[in-house]
Amino acid sequence: MEKPTRLALLKEIAEFLNEETEMKSMLDGALRSLIEGSEFSTGWIFFINNEGEHELVSDYHLPKALTRNQCAYMTQGSCWCVQAYENKKLTKASNIINCSRINLATQDYADETDGITHHATVPLRSGEEEYGLLNVATPHTETYSEEDLELLESVAFQIGSAIKRITLTEQEKEAARISERNRLARDLHDSVNQMLFSVKVTAHAGQGLTDIAKAQQAFKVIEETSQNAVSEMRALIWQLKPVGLEHGLVHVLKQYSEMLELALHPEVHGLIDLSSTVEEHLYRIVQEAMNNTKKHTDTHDIQLTITQTQENVHVSVKDFGRGFDVTDSTRETSHGLNNMWQRAKLLQGDLSIESSNEGTTIEVVIPLNRA
């Protein structure tokens, strides 16, 4: 099959990288495209941490010798390119004159190296951030041309930018998970723990009661408080893992509203066909809105409107309570509101809140071509 031009290859890799959101599949796919679309026959990627420890995170079409013993030649010990990287001596795509990994493999399995004796290497970076090395090789080649090294530089730049983007996204998601976990821990302490403490106190006091009527009243309090604790725990479990999303966003939101004893009035415009990521984040946003309605208002009615077009999905949640003061300080101190903003941001969307004495409306718009 005819190889693409270098410009076409770079375009192909760039388009692939722009669509990828998972680190491993991004590295594997980019490396495969580079090797299949060029004269290189094999390649591998090392991630190197701040302690100088390297990890083989991706490889493509390695000679059999280098895959022996679970790629032991690639994963154990050090080598010139890793040392040069650690010592800040490797700043651009370079020819490696002598590779200790290939030399060792050749000594042990000379007929299994596919003619690979030398490789080219280039650091993976984005701005001031450094991530590791991209290495490539061609059979019976000791020196790679300037054109080959320029191609390697360009691909390394693309991969480095993708690594930074995915790393930042993963960090934001982890921060959101930690924030959510902390909020759930606070809710658990403020609700279920307090209720169970109340049950314990009531039960202890009930042990000394001799009046039947008072004892019955104590048991009634214990029963009601226990039931409330069970309901609160169920609500927290729903927040940890939304059950039923496979049946659709509106379906699971309807179920959750019924559990909170709220009346959800959904209105849908367009065919709702969302990715699982967008669907779950929207579920969490609307869930938080319903939680706020339940906790802070006397109303039981919520109007939910979902509109999907080719460009975006628009969700509106409106209650008819007494409203609240929407300011930056409110946003900063309210973990629930901040979580909603963070979720919208992760999807590259916008979230706005309008509140008055006639109720609160939360609007979120998510672009579908970028989320």
CA 188 to chain centre: 25
* E strand or H helix at 364: strand 359-367
Helix axes 23-36, 6-19, angle to 10 degrees: 170
Q: Which domains does the chain have, with CATH numbers?
A: 6-167 (3.30.450.40), 262-371 (3.30.565.10)
HEC per residue, 286-297: HHHHHHHHHHHC
Please state the rounded mean pLDDT for residues 36-45: 95
Q: What is the pLDDT of residue 6?
A: 87
> pTM, whole model, 2 decimals?
0.59
Residue 273: pLDDT over 60: yes
- Residue 158 or residue 256, greater confidence: 158
Strand order of the sheet with strand 301-308? 263-269, 301-308, 312-319, 359-367, 350-356
Q: What is the pLDDT of residue 57?
A: 95
For residue 6, the 8-state DSSP code is H
Amino acid found at 341: W
The residue with tokens 């409306």 is 361
Q: What is the pLDDT of residue 357?
A: 81
Give the Cβ contact number of residue 87 at 10 Å.
9
Helix ranges restricted to H, the chain: 6-19, 23-36, 64-75, 80-86, 100-108, 146-188, 194-206, 212-240, 249-259, 276-296, 328-333, 335-346
Residue 258 backbone dihedrals phi, psi, to 5 degrees: -65, -35
Strand 54-60 versus strand 263-269 pairing type? unpaired
Please state the rounded mean pLDDT for residues 8-29: 93
> Which of 121-125, 211-215, 229-233, 279-283 tops mean pLDDT?
121-125
| Contact between residue 88 and residue 130 where contact means Cβ atoms under 8 Å apart | no
Q: Name the nearest CA neighbour of 65 among 42, 84, 46.
A: 42
How far is the C-alpha of 79 from the C-alpha of 161, rounded, in Å?
A: 26
- Render pLDDT for 314-359 as a digit per residue (tens, 0 to 9): 999 999 887 776 665 454 446 678 888 888 998 999 999 998 888 8
Q: What is the pLDDT of residue 332?
A: 46
The residue with tokens 């669907």 is 279
Residue 98: pLDDT over 50: yes
- Total number of residues shown for the chain: 371
* DSSP per-residue letters across 227-285: HHHHHHHHHHHHHHS-TTGGG-HHHHHHHHHHHTT-EEEEEEES-----HHHHHHHHHH
Which two structure tokens, joined as six digits, stand for 230? 């069970």
Q: What is the pLDDT of residue 239?
A: 66
How far is the C-alpha of 215 from the C-alpha of 212, rounded, in Å?
A: 5
| Contact between residue 136 and residue 34 where contact means Cβ atoms under 8 Å apart | yes
